[in-house]
């Protein structure tokens, strides 16, 4: 189901009965980028050191055929298969230690801000500043991302308090599509009058749930946090921000991207040591199944608004795999997209789950002029697809 407004009717502020109709607009975006980076070469050196250690420790089992020797990773493969050149991470040292292979993020006391809250506050403050607003103008915070560092109290309520926002907050998770689904929730809250403005914030610490010992996926993810401010149209100066013409959400169950980490793990005697308690995927299947679904969703969403692919000035696509994005853009446009039409940030950030398409939007939106149309589109685990068509005011 796609919800949209007739373009011709969009600017009207009164419905048939003369009552005021509230419209939501995107008035600001923000980004927190962890300062630490890991290049492909650095990641591969650490991975291959781990492989050597592992194979020498298990040389007897390998010689007896009871265990398979692990294979080394390669930078050239990573860049060719994914387009990723480096990633930003919360902690480099733990990931690059071949004896550890996971970030070092020590517990904090309950009186200190959580890591996700800290990231969220930086991104939210930038979004507020861009919109020329303060916390007093905001009534709600939605933390929408793939992993929350604790189940409760909700991270969003902590962010709400840290920013000094009155109102309400909640967490939600639709994996890579969390931000676009959160955006629709924010539009609903603003247009039904339950909030004047909503911050949708996506603190993605993907390194926490990535198996850095798995050759097939150790290079895929990075960390970052984005924020989007959604406000009532009448609170935003003319010419500022983006009209939201329509949102289109889709989900279809698949086991091809999965993570079985959860609160019931302690009820199973094998504990949390198995690889399925971290990110696992059938990458090829995901590529083949999701790419056509995304292209069809974008085309159907555009046509539901009487728009054609050529009307789009920009496509801010989910940033998981460069080849996937090029294929989707080609299917939608009927030709290759230029880098200006479909900007790429995954070379620097890798896959930051739900933050990816929003980072592309944040970094590549300021050159658009009034009336220019663009599409923000996420896709990933679930499967889930979120498409948001917007127009520069």
The DSSP 8-state label assigned to residue 233 in this structure reads G
Among 98, 287, 296, 393, binds ligand CO8 (CB under 6 A): 287
Q: Is 114 in the site for ligand CO8 (CB under 6 A)?
A: no
What's the distance, CA 194 to chain centroid? 25
Q: Which residues ranging from 201 to 230 are in contact with ligand CO8 (CB under 6 A)?
A: 206, 209-210, 215-216, 221
Q: Cβ–Cβ contacts within 10 Å for residue 84, how many? A: 25
- Find the binder of ligand CO8 among 62, 81, 102, 368 (CB under 6 A): 81
Residue with tokens 């200190």: 112
Between 78 and 229, CB nearer to ligand CO8 = 78
Who's near 183: CB < 8 A, 6+ residues apart? 26, 200, 228, 230, 244, 247, 376, 386, 388
Q: CA of 385: how far to CAs of 249, 295, 298, 354, in Å?
A: 6, 10, 10, 11
**Helix 322-333 with 75-82: angle, nearest 10 deg:** 20
For the bound state, the minimum distance from the C-beta of residue 354 to ligand CO8, rounded and expressed in Å, comes to 8
- Indicate the SS3 state at residue 132: coil
Q: Check: CB of residue 384 under 8 Å from CB of residue 360.
A: no
- 324 contributes a contact to ligand CO8 by CB under 6 A: yes
Least Å from the CB of residue 342 to ligand CO8: 15
The answer to the question of residue 175 lying near ligand CO8 (CB under 6 A) is yes
381 lies in the binding site for ligand CO8 (CB under 6 A): yes
Residues touching ligand CO8, count (CB under 6 A) = 30
Q: Rule CB under 6 A: is residue 42 a binding residue for ligand CO8?
A: no
b/e 268-290 (16+ beta carbons within 10 angstroms → b)? eeeeeeeeebbbbbebeebbeeb
Q: Which of 176, 206, 225, 377 is catalytic?
A: 176
- 25: tokens are 């607009």
- Beta carbon of residue 62, minimum distance to ligand CO8 (angstroms, whole number): 18
Letters for 10-39 (x = contact with ligand CO8 by CB under 6 A, - = none) are ------------------------------
Does residue 321 belong to the site contacting ligand CO8 (CB under 6 A)?
yes
| Nearer residue to ligand CO8 within complex by CB, 180 or 281 | 281
The catalytic residue positions are: 176
Residues near ligand CO8 (CB under 6 A) = 73-74, 77-78, 81-82, 146-147, 175-176, 206, 209-210, 215-216, 221, 257, 279, 281, 283-284, 286-287, 320-321, 324, 351, 353, 380-381
């Amino acid at each position: 189901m796609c919800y949209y407004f007739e373009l011709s009717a969009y600017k009207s502020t009164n419905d048939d009965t003369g009552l005021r109709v509230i419209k939501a607009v995107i008035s600001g975006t923000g980004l927190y980028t962890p300062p630490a980076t890991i290049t492909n070469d650095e990641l591969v050196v650490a991975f291959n050191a781990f492989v050597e250690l592992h194979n020498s420790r298990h040389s007897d089992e390998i010689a007896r055929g009871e265990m398979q020797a692990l294979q080394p990773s390669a930078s050239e493969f990573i860049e060719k298969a994914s387009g990723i050149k480096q990633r930003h991470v919360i902690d480099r040292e733990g990931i690059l230690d071949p004896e550890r292979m996971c970030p070092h993020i020590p517990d904090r006391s309950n009186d200190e801000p959580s890591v996700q809250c800290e990231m969220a506050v930086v991104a939210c403050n930038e979004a507020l500043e861009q919109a020329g607003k303060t916390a007093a103008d905001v009534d709600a915070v939605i933390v929408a991302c793939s992993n929350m560092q604790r189940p409760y109290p909700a991270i969003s309520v902590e962010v709400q308090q840290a920013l000094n926002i009155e109102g309400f907050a909640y967490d939600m998770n639709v994996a890579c599509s969390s931000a676009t689904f959160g955006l629709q929730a924010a539009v609903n809250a603003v247009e039904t009058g339950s909030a004047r403005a909503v911050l949708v914030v996506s603190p993605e610490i993907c390194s926490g749930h990535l198996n850095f010992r798995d050759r097939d996926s150790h290079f895929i993810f990075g960390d970052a946090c984005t924020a989007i401010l959604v406000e009532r149209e009448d609170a935003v100066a003319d010419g500022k921000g983006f009209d939201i013409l329509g949102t289109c959400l889709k989900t279809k169950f698949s086991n091809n991207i999965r993570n079985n980490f959860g609160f019931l793990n302690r009820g199973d005697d094998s504990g949390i040591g198995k690889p399925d308690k971290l990110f696992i995927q059938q990458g090829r299947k995901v590529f083949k199944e999701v790419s056509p679904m995304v292209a069809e969703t974008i085309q159907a969403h555009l046509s539901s608004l009487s728009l054609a692919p050529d009307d789009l000035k920009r496509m801010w696509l989910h940033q998981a795999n460069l080849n996937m994005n090029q294929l989707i853009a080609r299917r939608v446009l009927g030709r290759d997209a230029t880098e200006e039409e479909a900007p790429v940030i995954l070379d620097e950030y890798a896959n930051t789950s739900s933050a990816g398409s929003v980072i592309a939007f944040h970094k590549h939106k300021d050159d658009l002029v009034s009336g220019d149309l663009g599409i923000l589109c996420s896709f990933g685990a679930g499967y889930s697809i979120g498409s948001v068509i917007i127009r520069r005011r």
